[in-house]
Structure 1
Amino acid sequence: MIDEKDPDYHHHKHKRMTPLSTYAARDPCRTLCAFITIFLLLAGLTALIVWLVYRPHKPLLTVVGAAIYDLNTTSPPFIYTSMLFTLVTRNLNKRDTIIYDELSAYVSYRSQAITPPVVLPPLNHENKSTVALLPVLGGAGVLFSIVVSNGLTMDENYGVVALREGVAGEVEL
């Protein structure tokens, strides 16, 4: 006879578990966290694959030539200039066309503009191509400071003037 008070006797009711009851017993917070983790991993993997396929590159703009026709600082507080720059832009993208919209170019000396901005025409730059732009900058007088005038005169007498060409605008891929 089986004695239920015997310490070696264990009374268990065994319940057979089905796969549905296994998932129903889980914590809903844990299930949500697992879903979010899997979703983020799949989204990251998709973004990586798209980036590897397209690999967008920024366009490269290079000044390859410059000609200064006029640099007049004799009528302060205005400077009158006339310059021609040759800009070369390269689209390194294999699949993307770059659309330059509302580009403007200007020249600065010691972080102060010495030419008024010139609006460049819109340009559709095809993939894997190179385009040359030749903006003529200057013409109208630009207000400048005496410090810039003195520095420009000294550099001009020395024979080396450090000018910076600036290009601003919107670029769409």
Structure 2
Amino acid sequence: MSGKCSHHKSKLRKALRKCCACLLVFSFIILLVILLVWAILQPKKPTFLLQDATIFALNVSATNVISTTLQITVLSRNPNSQIGVYYDKLDAFATYHSQQITYYTSIPPVYQDHKDLNIWSPFIYGNDVPVAPFNGLALAQDQSNGAIKLTVKLEGLVKWKVGSFVSGRYHLHVSCPAYIPLGNSEANGIVIGTGIKYQLSQSCSVSV
């Protein structure tokens, strides 16, 4: 009786080993196909351009406090001819020397088709934000120069779409430098209602 049981267990172990081997081979083939398709398609990161910024308020107080209200126009282009991009989550905000000075403004999720272009115009703002002491010298210099160097950032999650295949989520980081006059000067801008619009046409760095 014990001999039959041992024989049965041996067969079961062999069957399990064969199943595991088949699963490993199948997984390897699937992974290889995905890698080959990825290499053939040569996916490229989306490109971003900070087209303009309309300044409704950009003031620096004597106590090194910044108040900012602006509307930005950002262009995003998908350079891929066979890969779509899902923007699942995207937030816009501004920083000054790596210090965040506005709240996050969410951009609605969107799918960007092959070679497609999207334009977003979110408002970003922050009221009476204290500047870190280590940024005080740079801020004083910017005040004397009459312009401030901000960095408009977009951060979120993207997915890639190839045919019916959709990848997992990847973190997207976009950074756009913007050199903007203080005091809403009309010298280099266009009056838009209560704001001044500045054409920037500034390319942004993108990492995924």
TM norm. shorter chain > 0.5 = yes
Partners of 2:157 and 2:35 lie apart in 1 by 26
How far apart in 2 are the matches of 1:122 and 1:94?
A: 21
- What are the equivalent positions in structure 2 for 1:38-117 lying under 5 Å apart? 46=33, 49-74=36-61, 76=63, 78-117=65-104
- Bigger share in strand: 2
1:123 aligns with 2:110: yes
| Partner Cα distance (2:118, 2:103) in 1 | 24
Structure 1 length-normalised TM: 0.65
- Please give the alpha-carbon distance, in whole angstroms, between the structure 1 residues aligned to 2:53 and 2:143: 15
Q: Higher Cα Rg: structure 1 or 2?
A: 1
Q: TM-score, normalised by structure 2?
A: 0.55
Q: Per the alignment, do residues 120 and 50 of structure 1 end up closer, same or farther by CA in structure 2, a change over 3 Å counting? A: same
2:155 is equivalent to residue 168 of structure 1: yes
Aligned residues: 136
SS of equivalent residue, structure 1 residue 92: coil
Aligned residues: percent identity? 29
**Contact 1:103–1:120, Cα closer than 8 Å, also in 2:** yes
Structure 1 CA distance, aligned partners of 2:33 and 2:88? 30
Q: Which residue of 2 aligns with 1:148?
A: 135
Q: CA RMSD in A?
A: 2.9
Tell me the CA shift for residue 145 of structure 1.
Answer: 2.1
Once the two structures are TM-superposed, the CA of residue 104 in structure 1 deviates from its matched residue by 0.6
